[in-house]
């Protein structure tokens, strides 16, 4: 679930690790230990789904930015499709009960 | 990094040590990179805090980060690495349990040194770990690590406590038999008075258990301390009553056997022959 959220957070952009955490903090109902994000990013990087670039920062030392690789994009597409299927299925059950 | 108060610095160092210990063994992760990311995260979270940053502020940030133990799936770390992690970074009570068990196991590889050095050390560490726990139920998995050495030592101690006088009597009887065989040339075989020795041993044990029951009732706290934690939940009075009953039974058996041997011709005559009866 967290991998899914992280990959979506950095889709189409590149984000600093701390900013990814802040983005996820903003998702209501998602309770996480913030430290969990970094090992996941490290694993995703090792598996080739994200890559990092170091950029200078005006606020201090250089920062590491994460962005999706081509493999990452493809995997995320699959995850999003799967998520949509689950969501649609769940929504239909909820609607049934509301009737 | 902002200036931290002493307690905040200690708290942060302990946390980072846990991070390193947990990540070091996970093959799929770049431990150094994650540690740098975590440090940067903490710095960013403390950006707006006043200097020196107090313990509560740092603890709040670390609380949001969560325990490093949740970061790496258990399946990624082999069991022996988990043991090493417990010893190197776990809470003291777990460390003591592992150290105690380690010394206990080591004793069986080096029997000579082990029996006199590793086993006593393992016992002392196990008792130390017990003294840190107020409630025995909190021990949970640590019991498996702490109890082997305790059971071994208590079994030996208990055996000597219950049968100590008998050991002495057996030694005396054995010495006595050798002395008789040496002095009387016509006696070469083992003597029948061993039967009488057993009668005396049972009689003495019976008396000893009754005395021991009295002592254990009078000094129950001492016994509970010696055999901690196994006597903690034992009803001392019932135990003592059982020992008294068992003691009387032994005395009765001894008297019965004595009467049987005394009434027969065999063993009793032998003793009379040597002027022992």
Chain A partners within 8 Å of B32 (Cβ)? none
Domain extent, residue A33, equals: 2-98
A51 touches chain B (CB under 8 A): no
Q: Which of residues 67-96 of A touch B (CB under 8 A)?
A: none
When scoring A20, A42, A46 by the number of chain B Cβ atoms within 10 A, the one with the most, hence best to mutate, is A42
Q: Would the CB atoms of B34 and A38 count as touching at under 8 Å?
A: yes
Structural domains of chain A, count: 1
ipTM: 0.82
Q: What is the pLDDT of residue B239?
A: 76
Mean pLDDT, range A81-90, rounded to an integer: 90
Given a cut of 60, whether residue B277 has pLDDT beyond it is no
B72 touches A43 (CB < 8 A)? no
CATH number at residue A36: 1.10.10.10
Rg (CA), chain B: 31
Each residue's pLDDT tens digit, B118-163 = 899 999 988 888 877 766 777 777 888 889 999 999 999 988 888 8
Chain B nearest-CA residue for A42: B29
- In this structure, the dihedral spanned by the alpha carbons of residues B40, B45, B46 and B50, taken in order and rounded to 10 degrees, is 160
Each residue's pLDDT tens digit, B98-112 = 888 988 988 888 777
Mean pLDDT, range B203-209, rounded to an integer: 82
Q: Mean pLDDT check: name the lowest of B84-93, B157-166, B193-202.
A: B84-93
Mean pLDDT, range B192-200, rounded to an integer: 68
Domain coordinates in residue numbering, chain B:
6-76, 82-145, 155-273
Q: What is the pLDDT of residue B155?
A: 93
Name the nearest CA neighbour of B42 among B69, B20, B63.
Answer: B63
């Amino acid at each position: 679930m967290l991998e899914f959220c992280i990959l979506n957070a950095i889709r189409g952009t590149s984000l600093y690790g701390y900013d990814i955490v802040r983005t996820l903090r903003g998702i209501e109902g998602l309770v996480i230990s913030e430290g969990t994000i970094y090992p996941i990013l490290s694993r995703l990087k090792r598996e080739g789904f994200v890559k990092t670039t170091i950029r200078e920062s005006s606020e201090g030392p250089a920062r590491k930015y994460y962005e999706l690789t081509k493999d990452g994009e493809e995997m995320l597409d699959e995850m999003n499709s799967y998520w949509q299927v689950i969501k649609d299925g769940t929504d239909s059950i909820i609607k049934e009960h509301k009737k | 990094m902002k200036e931290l108060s002493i307690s905040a610095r200690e708290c942060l160092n302990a946390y980072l040590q846990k991070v390193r210990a947990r990540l070091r063994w996970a093959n799929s992760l770049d431990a150094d990179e994650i540690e740098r990311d975590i440090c940067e995260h903490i710095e960013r979270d403390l950006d707006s805090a006043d200097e020196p940053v107090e313990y509560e502020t740092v603890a709040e940030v670390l609380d949001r980060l969560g325990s490093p133990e949740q970061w790496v799936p258990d399946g990624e770390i082999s069991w022996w690495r988990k043991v090493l992690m417990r010893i190197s970074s776990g809470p003291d009570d777990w460390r003591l349990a592992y150290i105690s068990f380690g010394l206990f196991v080591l004793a069986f590889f080096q029997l000579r040194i082990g029996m006199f050095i590793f086993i006593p050390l393992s016992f002392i560490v196990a008792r130390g770990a017990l003294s840190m726990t107020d409630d025995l139920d909190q021990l949970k998995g640590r019991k498996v690590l702490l109890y082997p050495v305790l059971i071994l030592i208590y079994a030996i101690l208990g055996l000597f406590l219950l049968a100590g006088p008998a050991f002495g009597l057996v030694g005396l009887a054995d010495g006595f038999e050798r002395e008789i065989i040496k002095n009387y040339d016509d006696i070469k075989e083992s003597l029948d008075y061993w039967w009488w020795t057993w009668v005396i041993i049972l009689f003495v044990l019976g008396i000893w258990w009754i005395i021991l029951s009295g002592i254990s009732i009078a000094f129950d706290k001492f016994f509970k301390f010696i055999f901690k934690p196994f006597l903690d939940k034992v009803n001392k009075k019932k135990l003592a009553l059982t020992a008294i009953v068992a003691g009387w039974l032994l005395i009765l058996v001894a008297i019965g056997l004595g009467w049987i041997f005394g009434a027969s011709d065999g063993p009793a005559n032998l003793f009379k022959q040597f002027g022992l009866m």
